[in-house]
A and B are shown apart, each in its own frame.
Chain A
Amino acid sequence: MTDQPENPLREALADAIASNEVILFMKGSPEQPMCGFSARTCAALTATETEFAAVDVLADPRIRQELSSISNWPTIPQLFVRGELVGGADIVGQMYESGELAAVLGAPATAGSEPLPETTEPGSAPPLQIENRLG
């Protein structure tokens, strides 16, 4: 027995999911998304005026691998609200359109009534860095 966790990266991810009310794992940053699906998901969150933590999975390939083991979800982005996986880009987009996303996030219900902007507004929250503690 040791105090050293067996898988520090996985524990860091689990901790980030548990300690941030709204957290998005994405490719790139909200300011500079590196993939259209991540960009759309950011846009939906920004349109609901929700503050969220963001983690760039491209920082280290192991983040994506560990995250998918935790979430049982193969693709990026992944949105978690209060520790629960809400979904990827398709589900978040669908929930935004229906107004359900605003309800889940506790944002004003009118937020879903406007079409999504093409690009995200910069910075609702600073990006969260998951440190690579394995290297």
Chain B
Amino acid sequence: MKGTFWRRAIRHPGFMLGALLVGITVAMAIVSIVWTPHPYDNLRMALKLRPPSDVYPLGTDHRGRDLLSRIMVGAQTSITVGLIAVSIGMTLGVMLGAWAAARRGWVDEILSRFSDLVFAFPAVLMAILITSVFGASATNAILAIGIFNIPVFARVTRGAALTMWGRDFVRAAKALGLGPFSITVRHVIPNIASVLIVQATIQFAVAILAEAGLSYLGLGAQPPVPSWGRMLYDAQTYLYDAPGLAIYPGLAIALTVLGLNMVGDGLRDLLDPRLRLMRVG
């Protein structure tokens, strides 16, 4: 089974291209932990806004720091925030969704009110309010993005789990006297794993976009830790003098998100083309 998956994956151009793009970002993030062309936080006002050169492949920013190094370290920020936020949303969302599917009734009703609430609420606004209460930081950006991921996973899980509960093998398990918890863990979750994996990939993309938006507004990772969104905000002041500052960080965001989206769609094709997904954000 595994073998056939990879054999088919290699022949799926979208999936492979996406994987390549994501791979580049992940590689940048990992390499930047141990090595960057220049220190990412080394301020040298004398070297500010240098155009690209052999020493500074993408030029320097308004504080004389190497742009390439900052984009590489920025990949760490994006990936960390996205990964943790989606993990939080997925863990809680899957638990809630599976619970609602197993119990139905009032649990289900409360869950859907909760999802309605989160979906109807202007997400950016709520994120701004959350960071206003707890202070702007990467941690609170994770929290804000994570919260909005809960109902996404809850709904997808609930929908997929409900179908499973109607299947014969689950009915059989029920007849054997297994409790709803055991059935959920042993039979339902493993059988809806593929939809969750695909959804998680797409949410990862959405989370990276959200992190970029929040840090653009100054609500994400704090300086001198670089984040792609904030780099774009700073760059706007220097559009005339150094347009590159406004181009490369955005390109990094767009290509990473594009890669994740392509991987997500590819996974859906490969795992189960009939999956129903959500896209929020």
Judge: A and B partners, yes or no.
no
